[in-house]
Structure formats: C-alpha cells, structure tokens
Structure 1
C-alpha cells in the first residue's frame, strides 16, 4: 500500500504518460495486446487510444474499470497522467518474440512522445501492422474452473471461435470413474488468453475470448 501510494501521489503526477509493461503473470499466456482505460475526458481518452495504437501491438483494447480502478492506469488517470499498458507475454517467461515486441513498443512510444528521434532498443525491427481493436467487457467472455481438476484445451491462443464451440475438456482427477466434461464458449471472438497450468482450482480463469470491434 505504501508503494502504491508513492506511485499515485508522488511519482505519477510528475509525468505526462505512464507505461506499465505486463507479462501475463505466471499462470496465463496472452496475445500481445496493448491496453488503455476509458477516460471521461474525450480529448484525454482520444490521446490514450492514439498512444495505445502507437505501440504497434497486434491487438489492443479499452477497459472500462471506473474512476476507482485499482490499476496503474487508473492511478495515472487520477494523478493527471495518461496510463498505457499491455500484455507482452505470459507464464513468467521471456522469449525472443516477446522481448522483440516489447522493445519495439517502447521505441515506438518514445518516438511518438518526442523523447527520441529514432529507435533505441530495436533499430532493425520489422514494421508493425495496424492494431486490431478488441472488446473484453463481460464475464461471459471468460471460461472459469468451478472445481479442482485438469484442463485440456481444444483451441489455440489467437484462434477465432464461435458461441457454442468446444473450448476444451475438464478432467476430475479425484473421480477417475467419471468421463471428462466438455466445456463450450459462451461468446464468439478471438482467444485472447489461456491458462498455462494444467491443474486448476475453482475460480481459475481457463480462457478469455475478446470481441473484435471497429474503430
């Protein structure tokens, strides 16, 4: 709580933009996705979306977490700065691909803000493609474990899926006499994230499906 207070009350107010780099935690793998939170001020919201797109990430989405959002972006907004974030990998790992896309995003943001004139971390990186906007706003877009078990996915990260499509199977290791339980998506979209660990506890997120949006 002391660190959070220092960031929001002391550090963030001294800056125009806060860039928070995430790596999906230790249990989830994510598509490389930029992220901003919705701002009530139209001009600041538009600027946030511009900076998110400037990162050159394949995907991006706007979260609506409210004024009391307990996130770095919410803290930045309350401190008068613009918060930009994203998921740059997952599983608590670093790979050649995730490091490359992170370096390119940092370079692109610094160039857009006028901090540097040319790439510093990845001067030979490939040009990025336009960011595809996604929406993740409903609980039904996620798939969650309801008891202890073993999750076997049926689709890959980044796959396009449909409402009612098979998402995977859930195995009860404490009741081997029971057949596996088929799990189905409740929403159509793109598989944004998936659980890496096979063993799961009640409440664990297994997959998230984001909806492509225009704009």
Structure 2
C-alpha cells in the first residue's frame, strides 16, 4: 500500500492529551506549495476502547463540529478510559465557506476509501481509512441536514449483516437519546465515511441533527449530551450512561427509510413549496408539496405525492430546487425488534 502523503503532527498511539494537525497537500491560485491544516486531537487515559469522533464532513453542518470542540476541550486523560481521536472538522475549507462541498466541488462523504495518489479529499479519506479507523473500535460521524435539508433530530445507522456489529450499532444509536432513530440507505452514490468504517467492522454511530441552515440551543444540547452518552455507553469516557427512562422521556420512535420510494425527488427544477411538517403522518398518494416554475407563471404547479405510508422525517429547507433533488423523506415507523 502506498504511504500516505498526509503528515500528522501528533503520535496517535502516545498517552496523554495531544493537539495537532493533519497536513493535507494542496495547490491553489495563491500558493503552488501549500498544505490544508485539519485539526486532530488524541486523548488517551488508560486501557479501554478507542473511539473516533468526527464533525464537519460537510462544511455546512456545524452541529457536530461544535459538539466535538466542546468535548475535546473539556476532557482530560483521567476522564478517558481508553482513547479518543477527535477531528472536529474534516472539511475545513468547506466549513469556512459554510458550504456542503469543498471549494474544488468534492463531496468528502463520497471520497472513501480514498487514494494516496488522488485529489486532496481522496488523500484525506485514505488517511482516515488506513491510519485512523484501524486504531478504533467505535466511529462517531455527526451530520445534519445542512443548509438545504431540515430533519427531525435523529441518530442513525445503516443495516449491516453481521449480527453482533449490528446489535452494538443499534445500542449506540439508541444511546444518543434523541427522540428519533432512523435506519437509512444511500441513494446518492457510494463512498460514504460510515460505509468504509462499517466495512472494517467498526461500531458506527451517526446523526442527522436538524439542519435548515440554523442551529437552536436545544440541538446544541442534544449534540453534546448525546455524544457524551454514547461514549459513556461504550466505556470510552468515565461515567454511567443514562437511558430515556432515566431522563423521564418516552421510548424513541424508530424510523425505517430503507426503500427508494421513501425518498421523494423533484421531477423538474423550480421552487419547491412543502405542504407537510416534520413528524406528520402521511399516506400513499397524499400531496407532500409542489414545484413552481418562475419562467411559466401561467403553468400549474407540479404536485409531488407520497409513494408510501409513513412519517415525514426530512423536508427540503430551501425553495430553489434542481431536478432530482430530494424534497421529502417519508419513513415508516418500526419496532426495535426488527433490527435483531
């Protein structure tokens, strides 16, 4: 395997708390020889599992970035039973521009497993795939709907075939203590970070913490409390994990968005008007929204109908929509026993 061109300024196997950078080679119009610095922190306090915590794979999703920053500043080695490797923002340039994609147009969440000889995003994905994930048992990848999507705040997972890996991922998903949990599929290509971590047999916990271009105090509280509770659940940091019952809250609602028909796509470009609210129950054939066409004010809007019965768990947060963009996700309610 080709050695990674990325330099890491800290020793990922050393004890204690280290703060450093990953130096990703790049060229720009301002500098032919340059590096993009990606922050990385390792906190090791003793024997125990290793967890990787990642935020900002998409730059317009600040929820996870802020939760990771709060976590790494607060924790000291004495509070960590194993090791934490925290990268609070994977896509630095995208975050600085509040953009989903890198300035190059790369989607970091379609770059895995990466390549040491590829573009900067592929080089970074390769480093994570070959140097970071193999050191861990748990991978936490925090997302939200970003600027263009608004989701009910959920913790999520893919279905994986290995029963023990799946059981631990289900437990981790529920340990976030969000009101909603969701099992989802990929509908926009391969190359996801979580997919590579799952392929390596890791326990993967992910989220969609709201979105829509804004973050409420409630979402910030859920982001950090959920992250810390998951790490306690797996014995990475000190303290007892709490359950929904401990918090006086009802059991989570489990959503299954595992069919293509759960994901409604715009048939044409235009302005999307939603008819439905997050958490609303809908039926097959029920109108979910409609597309308007500015160039044709005389033309009737194109209505988009639900293809399934279920609960609205995501809606498009902005009206401007291209053909093929996801506008609504309708998932069916399920029981936890279905994940056994």
TM-score of the pair, normalised by structure 1? 0.89
Matched, 1:60 2:181: yes
Instruction: State which structure, 1 or 2, has the greater radius of gyration over its C-alpha atoms.
Output: 2
1:140 aligns with 2:256: no
Cα offset, 1:91, TM superposition: 2.4
Aligned length, in residue pairs: 208
Q: Which residue of 2 aligns with 1:196?
A: 317
Q: Deviations over 1:126-156 (max 9, x none)?
A: 5554222111122212221122211111111
Preserved CA contact (<8 Å) 2:185 2:259: no
SS at match of 1:133: strand
Q: What stretches of structure 1 of length at least 5 have no aligned partner? A: 120-124
2:43 matched residue in structure 1 = none
Matched-pair contact (CA < 8 Å) for 1:72–1:83 = no
CA RMSD in angstroms comes to 2.0
Which stretches of structure 1, 4 residues or more, deviate above 3 A after TM superposition? Answer: 125-129
1:19 Cα deviation after fit: 0.4
Structure 2 unaligned residues grouped into runs of 5+: 1-121
What are the equivalent positions in structure 2 for 1:74-153 lying under 5 Å apart? 74-114=195-235, 115-117=237-239, 127-153=248-274
Could you tell me how far 1:5 is from its partner in structure 2?
Answer: 0.8
Question: Is the Cα–Cα contact under 8 Å of residues 233 and 240 in structure 2 kept in the other structure?
Answer: no
Q: What's the TM-score once normalised by structure 2's chain length?
A: 0.57
What per-residue deviation string (whole Å, max 9, x for no partner) do you get for residues 66-88 of structure 1? Answer: xx952222221233321110101
What per-residue deviation string (whole Å, max 9, x for no partner) do you get for residues 144-187 of structure 1? 11222111111111111111112122211111111223321111
* CA 94–186 in structure 1, closer or farther in 2 if over 3 Å, else same: same
Correspondence for 1:207: 328
Equivalence for 1:73: 194
Q: CA 1:56/1:11 → structure 2, altered by over 3 Å: closer, same or farther?
A: same
Q: Is the 8 A contact 2:165 2:202 kept in 1?
A: no
Partner of 2:140: 19
Indicate the structure whose relative CO is greater, using CA pairs within 8 Å and at least 6 residues apart: 1
CA apart distance, 1:37: 2.0
